[in-house]
Amino acid sequence: DAGVTQSPTHLIKTRGQQVTLRCSPKSGHDTVSWYQQALGQGPQFIFQYYEEEERQRGNFPDRFSGHQFPNYSSELNVNALLLGDSALYLCASSLNQGLYEQYFGPGTRLTVT
């Protein structure tokens, strides 16, 4: 049974560019959440998707947007990249709007230069 997968593993972008990160949830899971983790910090919640809609959003600007597809996979898009967007981006999946245990993927390391 495959766990949560994310792609790409690493990414280097230039300030002002746009980036798309991808996540496939654990088999059977219908809810996907995205987190940003800066070096030495705990993950910060970006948003959660359920039934292809953004169910909840953390304190992140509109430059951060997402999408969930009918197969429950998800994308995170970040526009107008800033140096401060450099971080590890983590995807987590769970059942039924996050009511059960959260399972995390390996993350995507984004570096903005």
Partner 1 sequence: KQEVTQIPAALSVPEGENLVLNCSFTDSAIYNLQWFRQDPGKGLTSLLLIQSSQREQTSGRLNASLDKSSGRSTLYIAASQPGDSATYLCAVSRYSGGGADGLTFGKGTHLIIQP
Where along the sequence are the contacts to partner 1 (CB under 8 A)?
A: 4, 6, 31, 33, 35, 40-48, 50, 55-56, 58, 88, 90, 92, 94, 96-107, 109
Instruction: Note the Cα 32 to chain centre separation in Å.
Output: 8
- Residue 10 neighbours by CB distance under 10 Å: 9
7 forms beta bridges with 22
Q: How far is the CB of 111 from partner 1 (least distance, A)?
A: 13
Nearer to partner 1, 33 or 74 (CB): 33
Nearer Cβ to partner 1, position 59 or 71? Answer: 59
CA separation for the pair 88, 37 (Å, rounded):
5
Residues 6+ apart with CB under 8 A from 7: 21, 22, 108
Of the pair 19, 94, the CB lying nearest partner 1 is at 94
CB of 66 to partner 1, least distance (A): 13
Nearest CB to partner 1, comparing residues 18 and 77: 77
Quote the tokens at residue 53.
Answer: 């809609």
Strand 108-112 with 10-13, pairing: parallel
Residue 75 CB, shortest distance to partner 1, in Å, is 17
Q: How far is the CB of 16 from partner 1 (least distance, A)?
A: 26
